[in-house]
Structure 1
Amino acid sequence: MHLPTCLPTETTTFVGRRAELVEARTLLAANRLLTLTGPGGVGKTRLALRIARQISRTFPDGVRLVEVDTVHDNGLLMQTVATALGLRDIGEDALDRVLEFLRDKSMLLVLDNCEHLGTACGVLVAQILAVAPAVRVLATSRHVLGIAGEQLLPVRPLPVPGTTEARQDAVTLFGHRAAQAHPDFVARRADRDTIAGICRRLDGMPLAIELAAAQVRNLSPKEILDRLDDRFVLLADHSCAVPSRQQTLAATVEWSYDLCSPAEQRLWERLSVFRGGFTLAAAETVGAETTDLAGNLLDSLAGLVNKSIVARDSESRTVTRYRMLETIREFGSDKLAQSGMASEAGRRHRDYFLAQTEQWAAAWFGPDQLAVAARTRAEHANIRSALRFSLQDPQETLAGARLAVTLDYYWTNCGFFGEARWWMDRVLPIGGLPAGIRLKALWLSAYAALGLGEAARALDESAQAEDLARQSGGPDELALVLATRAFVLGVFTGDPVAADACYVEAIENFSSASAMNGYLILTHAGRAMVAGLAGGHERAADSARTAIRLAEAHGELCYRSYGLYGLALAEWRLGNWSEAAGRALDSLRLKLQFNDVNGLAHTLELLAWTASSAGDAKRAAHLLGVASRVWSWTGSKPLLGSEYWLIPHRACESSARAALGERAFQAAFDEGMAHSPDLSHAIAHVLGEQPAPEPILTMRESQVAELVTEGVTNKAIATRLMIAPGTVQAHMANILGKLGLSSRSQIASWVVQHKSI
């Protein structure tokens, strides 16, 4: 079974590179590490993605893209790699988890833009190659990684007229991009020599050619060449130490910058603070430093799009998301630093995302949960950038700490326990933290340790958090900490009496708080789980039903899945195996929507125990195989390393082995693992479904679906897309029909499941 490739869609024609494609395939067949080297703008990324697509069928476990350019901390490199691999909740042993996951895989890893983390990337690749003999790595970097076994393929500029090569790929590229920029553009016979001159002047550098071709909206080819000549004469002697091709690219980007209006230049600089793309609203906040910029920002952004400085993000379904190529972004960042406005722009960027996350956190409890998860996930790279900016500047650490703890809903529910703890390790040492922020950071660190199965740390930090909450916390804060402390005690110490006392006090404190809190639902669900493990089956069922009732009353889905798990556990203990399986399957469906891999693994385990108790040993063994595969995608110890979960796991496995015999058990177990090449296949298999082919939405339908996910009304969608309200209704009908759905919230759920993390 082949996994699908996880690569962005090509939105423009691919030109030339036939020889490089053939050579790259040959080199990768004979070598396990191939690094495409060359200056920025020469086309390394585009070539790597084309190579990966061409050879993807030779890798049964698929292709994974790791975009290193969005990472600027060595410590987050492993988190990013793990996320690209589909692993979640990676903790301090992230490297071990990644290596263990890759050990038996036949997979191609594409590491793009490694130069700024070259040493860390080199060390990581060396370790991967040492333990995973069927994994190959295709890297792009301006510099070699410098490790044993690295095969290099220099990526050179495209052939231009007047060279010894017959091909004129540079001219072809100019023609394609010019036609894209100006659909009526046709290269006349008289223009051919001029276009050839442009390409020669640009040394065949693809990015430089694309920037020049974009100017056909406003200039003729002759005018473009004349202006290039002027610019390059001025810059020709700037640095003899810099290779001519790099001078060419720098000069072309500088030339494009000079062609921008002052407002466009300033906006270009300020937009360079974004990572992983940005929305129009974000651009308006960060770019609106002056009244002039604010008043003309939309026109300025349109001008940058027209000049190919900013591009629509092909990976986003929304009409207002944009992205810069890294070379363009770096140029703008340098200009921003020279202007002395880098700190101000960084502060605006951070403040925007702090305000956004506070809004999203407030909206998390309720029917918009899936949409909130999608919006936060789309901005993950920007959030990291904002945290990095804040926590490395002593003047900004308080705002950074606020941002880090405000994201608790995302870290804990969407698969980022390991990253939560990574940031808390940087927040907690900050001196002078307000008590409320320190308390929440300490709680979040303890909660993350719990999710990672780190018993000692979870016990210690939850005790510290309880002490602090009793000293300075309000009823909500104390309740939150007590609920976490209760679960830690129940899971790791096996003290159900102390755990239940904490739960009772937590519920009392939540009840005295001013507003309903989603964590109250989780508290009832957690109490059900601990009681179910400890033998209090009736109390477990009552607590779980309370959690489910509260969740349903408020349109809550995430914590409802925990209530369903708690009820399934109680029903299993009570001998109601059919009811237990049904509740567990309901929980499984909800957890999949949030990509809660840890919760999915727990639920698969429970389904296996239920099958074993019902006498279906083969299904139990099969489900244990599926669960084992899913556990390998988490950063947690299986079943958190807790004896109170491991005991029924061992009993289930022992019973199934005895009933089937060793050979039949292993065959069923292996079949379960084999049917789980990725999460969607694993869960679809357990649910008795076939992973459906992804419905194909038109571009406009995709735009409407994304805006629905953002919570935009039909009337507002019509305004945003400049179409009639009736047209929006027609698109909505088409979307619901294609996806087999019946409501806007289901559309939001579908978008979340089909959107990259």
Structure 2
Amino acid sequence: MRDHQLGGSSGHGNLPLELNAFVGRSAELAGLAGVLGAARLVTVTGAGGVGKSRLAARAAVRCAPRDGVRRVELAPVRDPEFVDHAVVEALGLTDHTTRLPRETLLAHLVERQLLLVLDGFEHLVEACAALVGELLGQLPGLRVLAVGRRPLGVAGERVFPLAPLSEDEAVGLLLGRAAEQGLAVADGPEVREVCRRLDGIPLAVELAAGRLRALSPGQLLVRLDDRFRLLTGGGRDAPPDSRPSPGAPPSRHRTLRLAIGWSHELCTPQERLLWSRLSVFAGRFELEAVEYVCSGHGLEADDVLDVLTELLAQSLVVREETPTGVRYRMLDTVRAYGADWLEAAGDAARLRRRHRDWYLGLATWCELEWFSPRQNEVAARVEAELPNLRCALEHCLAEPEAAYLGQYLAGSLWFYWVGCGRLSEGRHWLEQAVQLDAGHERSRLKALWVLGHVAVLQGDTVPALAALHECREEAERSDDATAVAYAEHRTGCLALVTDDMARAETLLRSALERYREIGELNSNVLMGQVELAMARAFQGDLPDAVRLCEDVRRVCEDHGERWTRTYALYVLAYAAWADGDPARARTLLRDCLAGAHSFHDLLGSVLAVELLALVTAVQGDAAEAAVLQGAAARMWLSVGLPLFGSAYYNAPHELCEATARERLGDARYEECVAEGARLMREAAVSRALERPMEAAASPRGPVGHATASVHMHEPAASRAHKGGETAG
């Protein structure tokens, strides 16, 4: 799951942990730290495999500002449009609004002192340069450390070129990596010549060290020299971009390519096959995916683990422990070499299809398992697989014959877009998907109602209505009862947040009946019942609202469902407050807020904080209530129109404000609100969950629950006509 702390309490932020010893580079590290202290944009440049990323990570930790460091891994990003999304993701930001990701970044970072590390940007130079230029121009507390093979070309950039290791450092690296394998290799002329032949490039040295299990330094040197003589003469088995002009000395880039090619030559046929096939993955990958995607045509599934283990031993693949289990990755230079061979073998299209199919299957499984006790696991799994899911979406939507699969995939991930704070990215994919005429109506209809749902939650009424209306019409024409039910349900949800309670109730009841007729039961269906309960509560029928939500709560607990349950708890807390039981309301709201926050569901979180503020005021702590209102106001900036612009949803806020102002006075109330508005989301949620409150309610002051209950059921405009009544 994402970390919402931008940098957190540790300067390390989200920098990767070092898995082995950092060798040498003391002078470079000190030099880079010095440059970082003097410039707001520093770019570490150098050949592939020269150690730019590790040096940058070390320097970033040493120079971390007040709010820490965040690293953006750009190598898996293929579409320039997703650069901004990748930065938002790395910062752990969640935004439900229709704002562009860059606007979100500017809004969230305006008060931060942060070091942003952009690693592996060279294939996205123009997009990264535009982003960095705008961010640095508007965010005085931001510094950027870029890592790539070339400068960004942005005004004020300081370039820090990184040379290969010195001979002594390269030897130290080779001997150190050999020792990590339990090999006793001594310094000597052959070892030093190997390091000289590899030009001191750390990745090339590490690949050579991986061969010391089978070869002595002397044997390694002989084979390496043979390979260099062959390829510097233009050998036909070299990938085209590694063939130099006859007799020309190799550049450092070509030295690395030749070293990788030499390592490739020493692999078994199965190891070469797996190496090339692994290149279809974007970012990290898991063993089960490798066994499905890469097996067949010369590599049996049962052999994949053994072959992968050999690639690990040769430093061609890296193993990492992650929150979702063991995962693997290839360094970008090694992956690119494998991709060349995959294309040369004519097998790239088949592997991309297998990759696509695996992630279609994963999305299907996750959608089903979302309605189960594994919701948190599903959310974390999709988070970890997002680069590969994006790759599959790009592939589907770019191939006319696979467009319907792209529609299916974008629609099947509704639970992630909606439940885990990814509305903006989900809308990007869904809008692309529904524009395609794929000839598979059912897949497009699903993408349409999910698009409508996302737009509703973003407060974008016109596109939401358009998508849902089109979905309803097409579903009725094609007799798709499921799509009709979902379109009607989401149209009812739109009526709910726009204060048309009678229409909301009619549509939601009809949709729930349709769900029963077709046997549909999942988180969406239960959410429809919660939304109906909200409509009933806002119309004054709290007993019916409680009955509906207690039923939802029981079903959720039977199935282990937690996301929809949070919204049922919100309605039950609302009813408990209106019934004069603020202690029970607080208990329910704490449970609600903890659940919503764990899924990065901003809407559920901010609704809970708003109602907690009112409960806090009723329990006698007007100052803390005002602080929570200030915190909620800041959270709404990332959700959309505060309280949907709805008089019904706004009533608790109005009542809380009136109560707190009366007890504190205007000046003190505004001071407390300002204090809350300074809280970042993580701090605000922690405060709402952890701040102690006496179980017994304090005197209620001028607000009686019978009066409050009436006020909660009527929009402010309606109350104004009743003899000048005011909230509180």
Same fold, TM-score > 0.5, yes or no: yes
- 1-side partners of 2:539 and 2:472: how far apart? 23
The structural deviation recorded for 1:613 is: 4.2
- Map of 1:112-511 to 2, 5 A cutoff? 112-160=119-167, 168-180=168-180, 182-183=181-182, 185-188=183-186, 191-237=187-233, 238-239=243-244, 244-315=251-322, 318-319=325-326, 321-492=327-498, 494-511=499-516
Alpha-carbon deviations, 1:22-78, whole Å to 9, x = none? 12222222211111111211111111111122222xx22221111111211122222
The residue type equivalent to 2:277 in the other structure is: R
The structural deviation recorded for 1:606 is: 1.9
User: Judging changes above 3 Å, is the alpha-carbon distance between structure 1 residues 30 and 663 closer, same or farther for their aligned structure 2 residues?
Assistant: farther
- 1-side partners of 2:284 and 2:501: how far apart? 48
The structural deviation recorded for 1:601 is: 2.0
The structural deviation recorded for 1:595 is: 2.4
Higher alpha-carbon deviation: 393-402 or 268-277? 393-402
* 8 Å contact kept, 1:89–1:451: no
Alpha-carbon deviations, 1:549-594, whole Å to 9, x = none? 2212222111111111122233334444333222111111212222
Higher alpha-carbon deviation: 646-655 or 496-505? 646-655
> Alignment RMSD, CA only?
2.3
Runs of 4+ in 1 over 6 A off after TM superposition: none
- 2-side partners of 1:669 and 1:591: how far apart? 23
- 1-side partners of 2:691 and 2:48: how far apart? 46
The structural deviation recorded for 1:629 is: 4.2
* 8 Å contact kept, 1:525–1:562: yes
- 1-side partners of 2:127 and 2:266: how far apart? 38
- 2-side partners of 1:658 and 1:132: how far apart? 39
* 8 Å contact kept, 1:489–1:499: yes
Identify the residue that residue 15 of structure 2 maps to in structure 1.
Answer: 7
- 2-side partners of 1:689 and 1:658: how far apart? 23
- 1-side partners of 2:469 and 2:537: how far apart? 24
Name the % identity.
Answer: 38
- 2-side partners of 1:499 and 1:571: how far apart? 23
Identify the residue that residue 68 of structure 1 maps to in structure 2.
Answer: 74
- 2-side partners of 1:606 and 1:473: how far apart? 42
* 8 Å contact kept, 2:497–2:646: yes
Identify the residue that residue 746 of structure 1 maps to in structure 2.
Answer: none
- 2-side partners of 1:533 and 1:275: how far apart? 48
The residue type equivalent to 2:591 in the other structure is: D
- 1-side partners of 2:92 and 2:466: how far apart? 30
- 2-side partners of 1:288 and 1:354: how far apart? 18
The structural deviation recorded for 1:282 is: 0.8
Query: SS where residue 138 of structure 1 aligns?
Result: strand
User: Judging changes above 3 Å, is the alpha-carbon distance between structure 1 residues 75 and 613 closer, same or farther for their aligned structure 2 residues?
Assistant: farther
- 1-side partners of 2:251 and 2:425: how far apart? 42
The structural deviation recorded for 1:276 is: 2.2
Task: Decide which structure has the larger Cα Rg and report it.
Answer: 2
The structural deviation recorded for 1:438 is: 1.4
Query: SS where residue 65 of structure 1 aligns?
Result: strand
The structural deviation recorded for 1:644 is: 4.2
User: Judging changes above 3 Å, is the alpha-carbon distance between structure 1 residues 597 and 178 closer, same or farther for their aligned structure 2 residues?
Assistant: farther
Higher alpha-carbon deviation: 472-481 or 615-624? 472-481
Identify the residue that residue 672 of structure 1 maps to in structure 2.
Answer: 676
The residue type equivalent to 1:684 in the other structure is: S
Identify the residue that residue 512 of structure 1 maps to in structure 2.
Answer: 517
* 8 Å contact kept, 1:68–1:111: yes
Identify the residue that residue 524 of structure 1 maps to in structure 2.
Answer: 529
Query: SS where residue 690 of structure 2 aligns?
Result: coil
- Map of 1:561-600 to 2, 5 A cutoff? 561-600=566-605
* 8 Å contact kept, 2:273–2:299: no
The residue type equivalent to 1:596 in the other structure is: D
Gaps of 5+ in 2: 1-6, 234-242, 693-728
Gaps of 5+ in 1: 161-167, 691-757
Identify the residue that residue 684 of structure 2 maps to in structure 1.
Answer: 682
Query: SS where residue 312 of structure 1 aligns?
Result: strand
Identify the residue that residue 548 of structure 1 maps to in structure 2.
Answer: 553
The residue type equivalent to 1:326 in the other structure is: D
Out of 26, 34, 57, the residue aligned to residue 42 of structure 2 is 34
* 8 Å contact kept, 1:3–1:678: no
Query: SS where residue 48 of structure 2 aligns?
Result: coil
* 8 Å contact kept, 1:541–1:571: no
- 1-side partners of 2:627 and 2:250: how far apart? 60
The residue type equivalent to 2:519 in the other structure is: S
* 8 Å contact kept, 2:94–2:602: yes
* 8 Å contact kept, 1:2–1:60: no
- 1-side partners of 2:272 and 2:639: how far apart? 44
- 1-side partners of 2:594 and 2:364: how far apart? 28
Alpha-carbon deviations, 1:88-116, whole Å to 9, x = none? 24545221111111111111111111111
- 1-side partners of 2:553 and 2:480: how far apart? 26
Structure scoring higher RCO (CA < 8 A, sep ≥ 6) equals: 1
User: Judging changes above 3 Å, is the alpha-carbon distance between structure 1 residues 417 and 254 closer, same or farther for their aligned structure 2 residues?
Assistant: same
User: Judging changes above 3 Å, is the alpha-carbon distance between structure 1 residues 196 and 682 closer, same or farther for their aligned structure 2 residues?
Assistant: farther
The structural deviation recorded for 1:512 is: 1.4
* 8 Å contact kept, 1:8–1:315: no
User: Judging changes above 3 Å, is the alpha-carbon distance between structure 1 residues 317 and 543 closer, same or farther for their aligned structure 2 residues?
Assistant: closer
The structural deviation recorded for 1:537 is: 3.5
* 8 Å contact kept, 2:442–2:480: no
* 8 Å contact kept, 1:442–1:462: yes
